[in-house]
Structure 1
Amino acid sequence: MKLIVRLIIIGALTYFISPLSVWWAAMVVAFVVCYVSPSSGLNAFVAGFLGVGLVWMGHAWNIDVKNESVFSSTIAEVMQIGDPILLVFATGLVGGLAGGFASLSGSSFRQLFTKTKKRSLYN
Structure 2
Amino acid sequence: MKLIARLILVMILTYFLSFYMPWWIVFVVTFLTGFIIHGSGINVFIGTFLGAGLVWMLYAWYLDYNTASILSQKVIQLFPFDDPMMLIITSGLVGGLCGGFGGLSGNSFRQLFLKKKQKSFYS
Q: Which secondary structure state, in structure 1, belongs to the residue aligned with residue 38 of structure 2? A: coil
TM-score, normalised via structure 1 length = 0.95
Q: Mapping of 1:76-95 within 5 angstroms?
A: 76-95=76-95
- How many residues align structurally? 123
TM-score, normalised via structure 2 length = 0.95
Alignment-derived partner of residue 122 in structure 2: 122
Alignment-derived partner of residue 37 in structure 1: 37
Over the residues paired in the alignment, what is the CA RMSD in angstroms?
A: 1.0
Rounded to whole Å, the distance in 2 between the matches of 1:26 and 1:119 is: 38
Does 2:53 correspond to 1:53? yes
Rounded to whole Å, the distance in 2 between the matches of 1:64 and 1:8 is: 24
Q: Which secondary structure state, in structure 2, belongs to the residue aligned with residue 65 of structure 1? A: helix
Letter in 2 for 1:34: G
Rounded to whole Å, the distance in 2 between the matches of 1:43 and 1:68 is: 37
Q: Which secondary structure state, in structure 2, belongs to the residue aligned with residue 64 of structure 1? A: helix
Rounded to whole Å, the distance in 1 between the matches of 2:58 and 2:24 is: 17
Alignment-derived partner of residue 97 in structure 1: 97
Letter in 2 for 1:93: L
Alignment-derived partner of residue 62 in structure 2: 62
Q: Which secondary structure state, in structure 1, belongs to the residue aligned with residue 11 of structure 2? A: helix
Rounded to whole Å, the distance in 2 between the matches of 1:19 and 1:86 is: 24
Q: Shift in Å at residue 77 of structure 1?
A: 2.4
Letter in 2 for 1:53: G
Letter in 2 for 1:55: V
Unaligned segments of structure 2, at least 5 residues: none
Alignment-derived partner of residue 19 in structure 1: 19
Rounded to whole Å, the distance in 2 between the matches of 1:15 and 1:78 is: 27
